[in-house]
Structures are given as C-alpha cells and as structure tokens.
Amino acid sequence: MLVLFKKNALPEDKEKFASFLKEHCFSPIGTEAYVSCGAGISEATLQEFTDFAAFGRIIDDSFYFSSRTFQEKNTLITIEKKKNRVIFGGESIPFIGGPCSLESEEMALKAAENLRSCGVKLMRAMLFKPRTSPHSFQGLGLEGLSILKRLSQETSLILVSEPRDSEELEILAEYADIIQIGTRNMSNFQLLKAAASIGKPIILKRGMSSTLEEFLAAADYLLLWGQRNVILCERGIRTFNSYVRFTPDIAAIPELKELSHLPVIFDPSHASGKTSLVPSLALAGIAAGADGIMAEIHEAPDKALSDGKQSLSFEELPKLLERAALVAKAVSRSIE
C-alpha cells in the first residue's frame, strides 16, 4: 500500500503524519509517499489517517507513478549529445540500431559509420551480454570499455548500453547515454533502484514472462527511485509459438500507451528472433503507435558472435528506414 501526502502539505504536517506512518511500519519513498512494509493495517488505523492534515490518498495498485492516473500527458524525453538530439514520446520516432553486442573496435566503428550514414542517431553499444547459456558469447566485457569510450568521444551517436549488475552499471554510467535494463533483469529490483539513481535515461525492457502490470510496477521502481526518464520497451513474450523466438506482443504497445504516460518503444529483433520478420514487425510496431524502434544491425549477420539470425545487414537498414518513414507518415509521425 502506498500513502501519498496531500499536494502542497506543510512540512510540519508532513512530519507529524510521517512519524505516525513510521510507527505503523511504513517507510518513505521519495519525498511525497510512504509505503507499507506489508504488515496488515487495521481499519481503525486507516480511519486515523484522515485525522492528519498531510494525508492525501491511499494507492492500492501495483503501479501508480507510471500510470495515466498520476500523469495524464505523455512524458517527453529529450536526449542530446553534441549535435544529436532525439525526443521520445512526441511526434517523432527515434530509431536505435547497431549490433547485438560490440565485437571489436573495427567492427564497432564500422557499425557506427553505417548508422551515421543512414541518419540514425542512436546506437546499441553493448559490452555485457546477459546470455541464457553460459556457453554463448558473453560480450567483450571490460576489455571493450576502451571501444565504448572511443565511440562516446569520437561520434555523436547516443549510446545505449546494458549492465547485468550494479558494478557494471557504475562502469557504463561514465560512457553510455542511455542505460538499458534487459528482459532478464526487469524484476531485479535492487538493480532497478541502483539504475534509477545513476541519473541517466533508462530503457526498461519487458520481462519475457511479465504481465503489463508487472512491467509497469518495475517502471514505478525507477520513477520512485528518482529517474523520470523511463522508456518502456516491448520485446516479445514467451508463448507456445515455436516459429518465433518470442511472440511479439503488438497489442501491448497501444495498451501500454493507454495505461502509462511513458514512451513505449518496440524491439522487433528480439521479439521474433528472425531477420526476415524484422522489417514487417518494425512497421507493425510503428503503425501500432510505438515511440521508437530498436533493431539489431550487423555488417555480416552470418558471422555475428550473437543474435546474427535476427540481425539486419548494413544494406537492409536504409531499405527498412525508407519503408518505416512511409508508415510513420501514414500515422502522422516521422522517423528520426
């Protein structure tokens, strides 16, 4: 249970109510809310809340700060780097491209050049890969940090990178412009809290078996722990379908936009696991209202160290961008 202070409550009234709440096993989250430790609260105690001038309201839903009830208007997230500027949540639809994982300096610089030549402003720059099997390529790790540093200093691409734990988060915070929390970490609540306090915008990917309520509750962790710039990413869910790696949940895009004020982007690569499906799905995502597309692009997908089967080649990227622009226009938006 979440108890909110009344808007513009006086500090001394807040203090009085806060000490009452603490006595009843509530602890503060941010400056405007207290959360119950989960112990039962009697009807009589609830009645007593109303005696306090600072009492606002009780929220019993699993998510609130990411909801349209809390904020009706879309959250706009502006990210700027050198001459690059993108806005998530507005009319334009930013495109994030790049390999599943950085593999070498040469490969990373070529990938960056490919994106730049296609007018893409955001790049996947992953070093630490959360892989299902320990036998799969785990990313360059710390050895690749100099590559991330070079990309950050020598290009104006906005870099997205993912930590698997709070140690890697600290390392990435220096060079990444957006921190990604992957599907396997959506419910790692300690990592969510740590990521929120780093101060960078966050792409939060939906857990592969998570409901939308659980997804938005995870977003609430980020918002409550101080990060307002949260971008939700639909990336496919686990179903009985075996023709795809995951099942793209296209309906989740408009549904999330109904439920939440946060921008919603779509990842057709991990959603399908299949290069041939990626363009159609990207277009479907845009038509369904996605506020961004993230797709894996590799110079030679058949030689990729990870996820080559779902990566587009350098040549396929401009073709997709051209078609994406047409669909975006049909829904009164544009690709950036």
Region 257-296 residues binding ligand PEP, contact defined as CB under 6 A = 270
Listed ranges 49-57, 97-105, 144-152, 183-191: which one lies at the site for Mn ion (CB under 5 A): 97-105
CB of 109 to Mn ion, least distance (A): 20
Task: Kindly state the smallest distance separating residue 160's Cβ from Mn ion, in Å.
Answer: 12
Does 100 sit near Mn ion (CB under 5 A)? Answer: yes
Tokens of 105: 């300096």
Does position 294 bind Mn ion by CB under 5 A? no
Please identify which residue in 307, 321, 324, 335 interacts with Mn ion, judged by CB under 5 A. 307
Q: Under rule CB under 5 A, how many of the chain's residues touch Mn ion?
A: 2
* Shortest reach from residue 246's CB to Mn ion, in Å: 11
User: Binding partner of residue 273 among ligand PEP, Mn ion, none, CB under 5 to 8 Å per kind?
Assistant: none
Minimum CB separation of residue 153 from ligand PEP in Å reads: 23
Nearer to Mn ion, 220 or 307 (CB): 307
* Cβ contacts of 166 within 8 Å, gap of 6 or more: 190, 191, 194
- 3 three-class SS: strand
**Under rule CB under 6 A, residue 248 binds ligand PEP:** no
Q: Which tokens is 287 given?
A: 């038509």
Structure token digits, residue 72: 């009706």
CB 297 within 8 A of CB 262: no
Stretch binding Mn ion (CB under 5 A), from 44-52, 86-94, 99-107, 216-224: 99-107
Which residue among 121, 164, 205, 245 contacts ligand PEP (CB under 6 A)? Answer: 205
Which parts of 156-175 interact with ligand PEP (CB under 6 A)? 162
Mask for 40-79, x = binds ligand PEP (CB under 6 A): ----------------------------------------
Report angle CA 101, 104, 105 to the nearest 5 degrees: 115
Give phi and psi for 67, each to the nearest 5: -85, 165
90 binds, among Mn ion, ligand PEP, none (CB under 5 to 8 A by kind): none
Residue carrying the six token digits 């400056």: 31
Residue 157 CB, shortest distance to Mn ion, in Å, is 18
Q: Is 126 in the site for ligand PEP (CB under 6 A)?
A: yes
Angle (CA) 163-324-93 rounded to 5° is 50
- 66's contact among ligand PEP, Mn ion, none, with CB below 5 to 8 A by partner kind, is none
Q: Contact, 162 vs 184, CB < 8 A?
A: no
CB 63 within 8 A of CB 219: yes
Q: From the list ligand PEP, Mn ion, none, pick the one residue 144 interacts with, judged by a Cβ distance below 5 to 8 Å according to partner type.
A: none
The bridge status of strand 33-36 relative to strand 2-5 is antiparallel
Of 4 and 244, CB closest to Mn ion: 244
Among all chains, which residue has been given the structure tokens 């140690």?
167
Helices (H), the chain: 11-23, 43-49, 105-117, 145-154, 166-173, 189-196, 212-224, 252-259, 268-272, 278-287, 316-330
CB 238 within 8 A of CB 247: yes
- Which residues of this chain interact with ligand PEP, rule CB under 6 A? 100, 126, 130, 162, 182-183, 205, 235, 270
- Which residues of this chain interact with Mn ion, rule CB under 5 A? 100, 307
